[in-house]
Structure formats: C-alpha cells, structure tokens
C-alpha cells in the first residue's frame, strides 16, 4: 500500500510537471496545486509501536479571490505505520492565502493558513484487525516557494498527518 501511494504520487507529479504549460506565478483563483511530501513527527503517538516517518499528498483549488487574499479548498491523504500498526488519513481542508493582506510583492511565495477535517483509520496488521477510527479537526499554517513557473516546494505546520510536512508542489 505504501509503495503504491508513493509511486502514484511521483508519477502523477512528473506527468503534470512536464505536460502542462506554465502559468503566471502565485496562487490565484482557478489554480490547482498538487503536493506530495513527508512528515516530520506524526500527530499520533502510541506506546504499542514506534511509528515511522509519515507521508502523504493532496491538492488545492483556488475558489474565491477576496482582495485582499484568496480562499482555496482541497483534500489530503496521509499514511504512517510502525510495527504492525497502520494509520490512514483522508480529509478536506480550506485555506486563506494572505500574500495580498501582508502586501508581499514576491509572486514566488505563497503564504496560507486554515482548518480541516480528517478521518483516521487504525488497523493492526498482525491480526488483520481494523480496531478503530475517528474524525479529527485540524489547523495548518504553511508556505510554498515556486522556483520555476509551476514547480516548487512547500512546508506546512499543523496537526493533520504530521506536525511538519515538507515536500514538492506542482501548480497545474
């Protein structure tokens, strides 16, 4: 499962990075950003197993230009495992992009923050048992830096699938 998600995100990112034409920099209404990354410190801890480094991916669509700012909505998936424990996250989130509010003139930078709602599924693979799930509210604060017209990196703090997520972003 882990390999399928990682390879799927990589292939998806490469196809979109090389296939679509470059757009103007900065996140704008109508833009779609797709990201994949790793997490540093999972948001779930357990005495049962030492958890590995989480990873995940997501997308965001710019839906409304507020002047100043922009609202984006999207979804994410995340995965972390350790020992025989697997945790799968899926959810939606909304973000306010506040470059205009801060009067940032650099279109290579995209700063945002927001909230989300995630479903977490816990399974224990030794006995092939799904032993629970829950729904958790989340917050996030992050930034993207586009070093090419449609390719960049991102960092995000919050409590979705990891306390700090870093990775690559592709703007379609």
Residue 104: per-residue pLDDT: 87
Residue 12: per-residue pLDDT: 47
Query: For 113, what's the count of Cα atoms within 13 Å in the CB-facing half-sphere?
Result: 6
CA 62 to chain centre: 15
Residue 143: per-residue pLDDT: 96
Q: What is the pTM (predicted TM-score) of this model?
A: 0.79
CA distance 112 to 69: 9
Segment 81-106 shows an average pLDDT of 90
The pLDDT tens digits for 40-50 are 888 777 666 68
How many percent of the chain have pLDDT more than 90? 51
Query: For 130, what's the count of Cα atoms within 13 Å in the CB-facing half-sphere?
Result: 5
Residue 39: per-residue pLDDT: 93
The pLDDT tens digits for 29-81 are 999 999 999 998 887 776 666 888 999 999 999 999 888 899 999 999 999 98
> How would you class 136 by CB atoms within 10 Å of its CB: exposed for 0-12, middle for 13-18, buried for 19 or more?
middle
Do the Cβ atoms of 166 and 40 come closer than 8 Å?
yes
Using DSSP's 3-state secondary structure scheme, residue 2 falls into helix
Of 166, 25, 29, 22, nearest in space to 108 by CA: 25
Q: In the structure, what pLDDT confidence band is assigned to residue 85 with cuts at 50, 70 and 90?
A: confident
Q: List the chain domain ranges.
A: 2-171
- The domain 2-171 is placed in CATH, from the list 1.10.150.130, 1.25.40.10, 2.40.160.20, 2.60.120.620, at 2.40.160.20
> How would you class 4 by CB atoms within 10 Å of its CB: exposed for 0-12, middle for 13-18, buried for 19 or more?
exposed
Residue 84: per-residue pLDDT: 83
CA distance 114 to 59: 14
DSSP symbol at 8 = H
């Amino acid at each position: 499962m882990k390999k399928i998600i990682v390879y799927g995100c990589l292939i998806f990112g490469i196809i979109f990075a090389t296939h679509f034409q470059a757009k103007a920099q900065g996140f704008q209404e109508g833009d779609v950003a797709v990201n994949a990354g790793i997490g540093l410190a999972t948001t779930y801890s357990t005495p049962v197993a030492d958890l590995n480094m989480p990873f995940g991916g997501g997308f965001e669509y710019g839906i409304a230009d507020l002047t100043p700012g922009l609202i984006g909505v999207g979804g994410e998936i995340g995965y972390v495992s350790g020992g025989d424990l697997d945790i799968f996250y899926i959810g939606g989130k909304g973000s306010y992009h506040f470059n205009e509010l801060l009067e940032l003139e650099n279109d290579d930078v995209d700063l945002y923050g927001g909230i989300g709602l995630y479903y977490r599924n816990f399974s224990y693979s030794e006995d092939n048992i799904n032993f629970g799930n829950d729904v958790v509210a989340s917050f996030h604060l992050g930034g993207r830096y586009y070093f090419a017209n449609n390719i960049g990196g991102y960092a995000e703090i919050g409590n979705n699938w990891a306390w700090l997520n870093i990775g690559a972003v592709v703007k379609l």
